[in-house]
Amino acid sequence: MADSWALSAILSLEPVGEGVLLGRSPAWGVRVYGGQFLGQSLLAAAGSVPPDGAGEPRAVNSLHAYFLRPGDVAEPIEYRVSAVRDGRAFATREVRAFQHGREAFRLLASFHAREPGLLYQPRPDIAALPGPDAGLPTYQEWMLATYDEDRAEDRARAEQRPEPIEVRYVDPPPPRSPRPLDAPQRMWVRSAGPLGEDAAVHAAALAYLSDETLIDQAMLPHGMRWSDARLEGASLDHAMWFCRPARADEWLLFEQTVLSTAGGRGQVRGDLYRPDGTLVATVTQEGLLRVTT
């Protein structure tokens, strides 16, 4: 895959039959990143949805997904798209992702014909926050700072991994402090490269980046970091609502709040805002949060 680190390349799909498309993974990492499953499957679903009665594309309004098995980056992903319903206002698609003959991921997505409606949302005071060009640390820099000297191999792997998403951490917690932290975490996010004008691609990119840091926050109330060798984690399921159109290659504020940790799982909510405080999407994810002794 040429320029495999670029988000536009990661999201590209190859049609291979009726309702079947192939996605490929960039040549780094061991497991398929959860956001890749989300973005590729959403784009596969969008491509099968007919326009509305006025001939305009229907926009995704929500998705619900389950991560069933770890993905293999060396194996193409086969996406099988099924039409669940095509109504006057809404269309629903199911996408199942297969590798090695087994289902690894499943998504249901709803698409809505654009229509006028009542407008309301609480608006946060984003203008009071430092902007993405204020010299904020990247999420990668913060993660690297959490590793002890005896984790040199993990540090090297993290340093060499390309970043298709730019992340600027507004208020990063101390990287190695055991102090519990339950305040919302805020960061600026966008695609590292341009994504063109296709609204479906931008929606898929938003789904991709929504998995970038979300479940990472679940251990903070316990004073832990992913660099702790006792922690085992993975995305389990993901729900996302697309409130308003947005460009994923322009800066958005991602505010993330831990809702609960219990029973070896953590649940985190994230809200994506334009710089003017307009809410564009909200997401909730449950992840495995297992502590070994």
The catalytic residue positions are 211, 235, 285
Rounded CA separation 174/145 (Å): 9
In sequence order, what are the beta bridge partners of 207? none
| Residue found by looking up tokens 């990119």 in the block | 205
Report d(CA 77, CA 102) in Å as an integer.
Answer: 10
- CA end-to-end span of the chain, whole Å? 40
Across the chain, which distance is largest between two alpha carbons, in Å? 61
CA of 251: how far to CAs of 71, 187, 226, in Å?
A: 29, 10, 26
Cα separation, 183 vs 267, whole angstroms = 15
**C-alpha to C-alpha distance for 252 and 188, rounded to whole angstroms:** 5
Q: Residue 187 has which token pair?
A: 């960061």
Residue 138 DSSP code: B
**Cα–Cα nearest to 144, from 153, 135, 155, 136:** 155
Closest CA to 66 of 46, 44, 37, 91: 37
CA-to-CA distance for 289 and 106, rounded, in angstroms? 21
Write phi, then psi, for 96 (nearest 5 degrees): -115, 135
Measured distance CA(258)–CA(183) in Å, rounded: 8
* CA distances, 240 to each of 73, 104, 149, 208, 272 (Å): 24, 19, 38, 11, 11
